[in-house]
Amino acid sequence: MATRHSARRRPPVTIAVLGSANMDLVVRQPRLPRPGETLFGSSFTAVPGGKGLNQAVAAARAGGRVRFAGAVGDDEFGAALRARLAADGVDTAALATVGAPTGVAAVSVVDGGENSIVVVPGANQAVMALDDATRDLIARSGLLVTQFERPLGLVGEALAAARARGVTTVLTPAPVLPVPADLLELVDILVPNAAEACELAGTDDETAAARALSRTAGTVVMTRGPRGVLVARGGAVLAEVPARPVEAVDTTAAGDTLAGVMASVLAAGQGLDQAVRVAVIAASIAVTRPGASSSMPTWAEIAALL
């Protein structure tokens, strides 16, 4: 796998990412403050992020040919996000500039690497319906990767357009929302974390949640942090892939790294089992570095651990 995928750096199948682009304003701190309390932080950085941008960058760095459909404002953050995508080789022809300000995310990272995030969507919520250019982009792709940081109706339209053209659909249901069953039926690969899976399925049992969701969506790839990934399909657990033991510095983009790299490996023609295995390794690298898009590994770094 390492030799074959690394030798063909530009897979023949294009990945369309419909998603958010935010500027992450990241504060590192010893712990979360109590109500009314002021704490000193140890550092502050502004890092390009948003689940859509993160997944696009992760897929591109793993060798994927990626086109990004999103929206930013006509401001400094928007220009920086567009430049970040372009620097990683992501096609930004479908990245619109709109009247709303670019989305931002306030990210608190505590000692040990766990994080809490508040997102102000801004431009990400300004486009409510699928335009002809984005519809055409999806039709010319092999995979569609999306999330819930864009309007739910827009995401549903995109999934339906992809299904109509036989395009494989990958959905990260975050931030988690009440989702109608007919939308989940349009999803070939659902990539929730354990908490999201439980909320979507209405149960506290992670395994039961993954099994239940897999009766509606095609396959569930549920991330569980240091406990690895559980894969379910048709109401049954197919596999549990252990995580690679590392000392986490920042878990902000672990799930996005996994989703993006998994899409890249699938686009290269590999099966889901291999794609998940490779993606778990990529996520294990990302959590050892601070930031979102800044933490994501290149294919050479991933291949060195395969």
pLDDT tens digits, one per residue of 199-219? 999 999 999 999 999 999 999
Is 256 annotated in the active site? yes
pLDDT in tens, 9-60: 444 589 999 999 999 998 989 998 899 999 999 999 898 999 999 999 999 9
Average pLDDT over residues 225-241: 96
Establish whether 295 is an annotated binding residue: yes
Note the pLDDT of residue 12: 54
**How many domains does the chain divide into?**
1
Establish whether 115 is an annotated binding residue: no
The one-letter code for the residue type at 21 is A
Establish whether 124 is an annotated binding residue: no
Average pLDDT, the chain: 92
Instruction: Grade residue 4 by pLDDT with cuts at 50, 70 and 90.
Output: very low
Predicted TM-score of the model (pTM): 0.90
Burial class (CB in 10 A: 0-12, 13-18, 19+), 200: buried
Pull the structure tokens for residue 6: 């690394």
What does the longest C-alpha to C-alpha distance in the chain come to? 55
Reply yes or no: is the peptide bond before residue 12 cis, omega within 30 of 0. Answer: no
- Measure the CA–CA gap between 189 and 218, rounded to whole angstroms: 6
Note the pLDDT of residue 291: 73
Q: Do the Cβ atoms of 128 and 121 come closer than 8 Å?
A: no
Q: Where are the alpha helices (DSSP H) in 38-150?
A: 51-61, 76-87, 132-139
Task: With a cut of 80, say whether residue 8 has pLDDT above it.
Answer: no
- Measure the CA–CA gap between 240 and 209, rounded to whole angstroms: 15
pLDDT in tens, 119-148: 899 999 999 999 999 999 999 999 999 999
pLDDT in tens, 243-274: 999 988 878 789 999 999 999 999 999 999 99
**Which has more pLDDT, 114 or 29?**
29
Note the pLDDT of residue 33: 87
Pull the structure tokens for residue 62: 């793993």
Q: Do the Cβ atoms of 194 and 206 come closer than 8 Å?
A: yes
How many CB atoms are located within 10 Å of the residue 80 CB?
16
Task: Choose the catalytic residue: 74, 91, 256, 273.
Answer: 256
The one-letter code for the residue type at 158 is A
Q: Where are the alpha helices (DSSP H) in the chain?
A: 2-7, 51-61, 76-87, 132-139, 152-164, 181-184, 194-201, 206-213, 254-267, 272-286, 299-303
Please state, in angstroms and as integers, the Cα–Cα distance from residue 277 to each residue in 45, 230, 293, following that order. Answer: 31, 11, 21
Note the pLDDT of residue 234: 97
pLDDT in tens, 164-206: 999 999 999 999 999 999 999 999 999 999 999 999 999 999 9
Average pLDDT over residues 273-285: 96
Establish whether 223 is an annotated binding residue: yes
- Measure the CA–CA gap between 19 and 146, rounded to whole angstroms: 6
Establish whether 23 is an annotated binding residue: yes
Please state, in angstroms and as integers, the Cα–Cα distance from residue 251 to each residue in 9, 43, 113, 120, following that order. Answer: 27, 16, 6, 20
CATH number, residue 22 = 3.40.1190.20
Weakest-pLDDT range from 3-7, 50-54, 234-238: 3-7
Instruction: Grade residue 117 by pLDDT with cuts at 50, 70 and 90.
Output: confident
- Measure the CA–CA gap between 280 and 161, rounded to whole angstroms: 29
Q: What is the dihedral of CA 269, 274, 277, 280, to 10 degrees?
A: 10
Task: With a cut of 60, say whether residue 295 has pLDDT above it.
Answer: yes
Domain that holds residue 293: 2-303
Could you tell me which residues come within 8 angstroms of residue 81 by beta carbon, excluding any fewer than 6 positions away?
A: 21, 22, 23, 48, 50, 53, 72, 102
Establish whether 238 is an annotated binding residue: no
